[in-house]
Chains A and B, each alone.
Chain A
């Protein structure tokens, strides 16, 4: 549905050019819910705006549904109105001088479809029904609450019956409770209508709830594309690992076999395929704490610095010599006390070259 190849975009600020996007390649399938995830300044919004035609890339190609809409080589750049899209903006972009129905009607009667008044009225009712705003047709849009505006924006984007929906952080201006509700509704509607969705967010929970696949972005590049499980369990690099939840890092040297000589001792790892300085990472919930001295692979004697019972889990800071690790354990048995053994299961360890990990900081 979306194919992007070699996309590049620079922003000129003052005398220097900042690369907002570099060498982006991406394929999004029909009917897929695809999320662009990254911190602010990662280029995710710029990428979305390039697809919408609101930003003109400097290099590369974009095709929508097989039709090229941008190509530097062929000096092609279709205007936004020629691309046949639906879009939800972060600020909702609800026209304050029009009513709810007129906000949707304008794009139906004067947009690509050029529907008649009657046909438009029909479609307006349908799309407002999708977002449960049937009774608000004649309400001036500027009198709506934030949540209602968000729903009108969604209804407007759905009303044009576009095969592709773009969403730029549509939930970031809602309060937490409403956000969960609307999130569920967006997912439901997208599945029900079979639309392809390109969705930008900086919230990894939102991304995991919504996405079929996620592209993690940073500094204008795509770091990894995959489904939520892959990204969490098999991050391609330290940055992706850090972006999805917290992780403990332990520095060390790759040994002659599948182990790393670390600051806390020798740790057996899977075959990492690196040599030299590396970092070993493990998520807090994978750190096993055992209430006795035990021997065995990747088991180290530790000291409890602080252990806090939180009801659904126990959060513990353990010291392995100078190194402090964070562990999250099931709540049985209450807070931990000495003596304690820290078990770092081999299959839960991830290993990256040290240089790449430094970049992440």
Chain B
């Protein structure tokens, strides 16, 4: 095959930065001195974090936060998945689309809404409860581990839903039918057949969600940091952008290393459990739909109440609270007095010039990152699946790393590199290019996985026929593979563009100037600066900018029934 060397070369060039960033983090953890001084190695940072009680408190916080998030996510995801996959509930396509789309709603958006709802001082619900029962202190507190976990869980429920639905789909429906025919009722079938069989899949989803929550940044940053409740991610962030002291890259590197090890262990156990659950998956090849459980009037009402509650707490309530906050100068519960103060002043007062700059930068990111990522990942996928290269599985493993390694840490490593290693060669610090670079690296796992799945469905003989006909690899890719992979590529492109749009975690580290500011960053700086109501207004503007992209996704999903593919 002419051109194999090129493809493998491009794949390697895409994956070397992944390893580079990881090694950089490890190295950081052993670096004693501040930047600009001669390098001295030390174990001091590790000694320090392992002897500091604050580390253990943060560790417990993080575990509690992630565990709450898993519980909240599964609480909504599992029943919703069952209703969509196994009952005769009408309107399933809409539910499927809404929930999938929910995965794209920025978490910082809902987090802000929940602060207005349940904050101990300003939260509406707390104020009402205190007035109603004449309480001295707020009964509910969102600025707690449980509260933050709840909000994170709401955000992750979409991903949990997609994973649990997949478990139902790979399960042979006749396993449940056999129970029904031989005399087990709906509930007994659920208890003795459906739940035990989907259990490994649900556990796998739990581990997956737990891994994400463990390094989640947005919710702890929006809700926790100003209330001095830290998880690992905000702790690391605080170490490199402290308010009072000097940045401590060494400690950040050491904590990051611990977090990476944890995340890799979790990813490993995820695949173990997943393999176990696949032992239960039976592909019958028979295309009849499973018998749908008839809910009846009462069951249907209950199902709609449940789904309505889910939709309201996860999407509608935070949104309404943001709208209300955006219309007020100072946040207060709805009342006649408050209504008289409603105005659009927050919108007039927004830093519009900065917002336009942010919008422009965000659009550039949305155009470049998915495109570059797809081109690189096409080379990686081809190397892994088709090159016959002996090292192809190494490529596969490295391509998976950006999924397991917290994105905040990737960003910190890149920032460190631009600030202290490359500053003489390139001035990337504070540039849009560094955002493009890190965003691209962070999406390699996602894109490779999608292209791998699609490429595996294409028979290699389709390409071999072209090679025999004398086409070179580049032409085969352009004329045969890309057209055949098109639905998957378009889907991955749109999805990555939307993820770029909402990205705050990596931006929080890498955006250091006006020239590379992004929209979520503007919202967050307003929030951190204490202008909560202006931040709410900015958030709504950002959401409005996002609408065209979401519409594009809707149209595409309609045409390709993507909700099913996902």
Instruction: Assess the B192–A93 pair: CB atoms within 8 A.
Output: no
A256 to B175, CA, bound (A): 61
Instruction: Assess the A142–B174 pair: CB atoms within 8 A.
Output: no
Q: Which of A79, A84, A87, A110 contacts B178 (CB 8 A)?
A: A87
Q: Which of B182, B197, B288 contacts A45 (CB 8 A)?
A: B288
A45 to B174, CA, bound (A): 13
Nearest CB to that of B175 among chain A residues? A93
Instruction: Assess the A81–B284 pair: CB atoms within 8 A.
Output: no
Measured between C-beta atoms, what is the minimum distance from B51 to chain A in Å?
46
A112 contacts the other chain (CB 8 A): yes
Measured between C-beta atoms, what is the minimum distance from B333 to chain A in Å?
49
A156 contacts the other chain (CB 8 A): yes
Instruction: Assess the A91–B180 pair: CB atoms within 8 A.
Output: no
Nearest CB to that of A97 among chain B residues? B196
| Chain B residues, CB < 8 A from A112 | 183
A110 to B288, CA, bound (A): 27
Q: Which A132-155 residues sit within 8 Å CB-CB of chain B?
A: 142, 153
| Chain B residues, CB < 8 A from A85 | 181-182
A45 to B183, CA, bound (A): 20
Instruction: Assess the A97–B183 pair: CB atoms within 8 A.
Output: no
A157 to B288, CA, bound (A): 22
Instruction: Assess the A90–B286 pair: CB atoms within 8 A.
Output: yes
Nearest CB to that of B200 among chain A residues? A97
How many residues on chain B are close to A (CB under 8 Å)? 25
| Chain A residues, CB < 8 A from B197 | 95-97
With contacts A54-B180, A80-B177 taken as known, whether A91 is within 8 angstroms of B193 at the C-beta atoms is no
Nearest CB to that of B182 among chain A residues? A107
Q: Which A153-177 residues sit within 8 Å CB-CB of chain B?
A: 153, 156-157, 160, 166
A111 contacts the other chain (CB 8 A): yes
Instruction: Assess the A54–B177 pair: CB atoms within 8 A.
Output: yes
Measured between C-beta atoms, what is the minimum distance from B179 to chain A in Å?
7
With contacts A45-B288, A55-B291, A110-B188 taken as known, whether A93 is within 8 angstroms of B183 at the C-beta atoms is no
Instruction: Assess the B184–A111 pair: CB atoms within 8 A.
Output: yes
B390 contacts the other chain (CB 8 A): no
Instruction: Assess the A81–B280 pair: CB atoms within 8 A.
Output: no
Q: Which A51-98 residues sit within 8 Å CB-CB of chain B?
A: 52-55, 79-81, 83-87, 89-91, 93, 95-97
Instruction: Assess the A160–B183 pair: CB atoms within 8 A.
Output: yes
Instruction: Assess the B184–A91 pair: CB atoms within 8 A.
Output: no
A53 to B193, CA, bound (A): 19
Instruction: Assess the B192–A81 pair: CB atoms within 8 A.
Output: no
| Chain A residues, CB < 8 A from B181 | 52-54, 80-81, 83, 85-87, 166
Measured between C-beta atoms, what is the minimum distance from A301 to chain B in Å?
51
B282 contacts the other chain (CB 8 A): yes
| Chain B residues, CB < 8 A from A86 | 181-182
| Chain B residues, CB < 8 A from A45 | 288
Measured between C-beta atoms, what is the minimum distance from A127 to chain B in Å?
12
Q: Which B165-185 residues sit within 8 Å CB-CB of chain A?
A: 172, 174-175, 177-185
Measured between C-beta atoms, what is the minimum distance from A195 to chain B in Å?
15
Of the candidates A87, A91, A153, A157, the one having the most CB atoms from chain B within 10 angstroms of its own CB is A91
Instruction: Assess the B180–A81 pair: CB atoms within 8 A.
Output: yes
| Chain B residues, CB < 8 A from A93 | 172, 174-175, 177-178
Interface size class of A (residues with CB under 8 A): 20 to 34
| Chain B residues, CB < 8 A from A87 | 178, 181-182
B279 contacts the other chain (CB 8 A): yes
Nearest CB to that of A111 among chain B residues? B183
Measured between C-beta atoms, what is the minimum distance from B174 to chain A in Å?
4
A18 contacts the other chain (CB 8 A): no
| Chain A residues, CB < 8 A from B288 | 45, 49
A106 contacts the other chain (CB 8 A): yes
A45 to B289, CA, bound (A): 13
Measured between C-beta atoms, what is the minimum distance from B165 to chain A in Å?
20
Measured between C-beta atoms, what is the minimum distance from B368 to chain A in Å?
39
| Chain B residues, CB < 8 A from A156 | 178, 182
Instruction: Assess the B183–A89 pair: CB atoms within 8 A.
Output: no
A275 contacts the other chain (CB 8 A): no
Measured between C-beta atoms, what is the minimum distance from A171 to chain B in Å?
15
| Chain A residues, CB < 8 A from B185 | 79, 81
Nearest CB to that of B293 among chain A residues? A79
A49 to B87, CA, bound (A): 17
Nearest CB to that of A159 among chain B residues? B182
| Chain B residues, CB < 8 A from A110 | 183-184, 188, 192
With contacts A87-B178, A95-B197 taken as known, whether A81 is within 8 angstroms of B184 at the C-beta atoms is yes
Instruction: Assess the A106–B286 pair: CB atoms within 8 A.
Output: no
A113 contacts the other chain (CB 8 A): yes
| Chain A residues, CB < 8 A from B179 | 95, 106-107
Q: Which B427-453 residues sit within 8 Å CB-CB of chain A?
A: none
Q: Which of B178, B183, B196 contacts A113 (CB 8 A)?
A: B183
| Chain B residues, CB < 8 A from A113 | 183
Measured between C-beta atoms, what is the minimum distance from B279 to chain A in Å?
6
Instruction: Assess the A91–B183 pair: CB atoms within 8 A.
Output: no
Nearest CB to that of B189 among chain A residues? A81
| Chain A residues, CB < 8 A from B175 | 93, 95-96
Q: Which of A52, A79, A91 contacts B286 (CB 8 A)?
A: A91
With contacts A111-B184, A160-B183 taken as known, whether A95 is within 8 angstroms of B193 at the C-beta atoms is yes
Nearest CB to that of A88 among chain B residues? B178
Minimum-distance CB pairs A-B, first 6? A111-B183, A112-B183, A107-B182, A93-B178, A80-B180, A93-B174
Question: What are 12 contact pairs spanning A and B, CB under 8 A?
Answer: A54-B181, A80-B177, A81-B180, A81-B182, A89-B178, A91-B174, A93-B174, A93-B178, A95-B197, A107-B179, A142-B279, A160-B182
- In the complex, besides A81-B181, A96-B279, A107-B183, 7 extra interface pairs with C-beta distance below 8 angstroms are A49-B291, A53-B180, A81-B180, A91-B284, A106-B179, A112-B183, A160-B183
What residues of chain B have their CB less than 8 Å away from a CB belonging to chain A? 172, 174-175, 177-186, 188, 192-193, 196-197, 279-280, 282, 284, 286, 288, 291
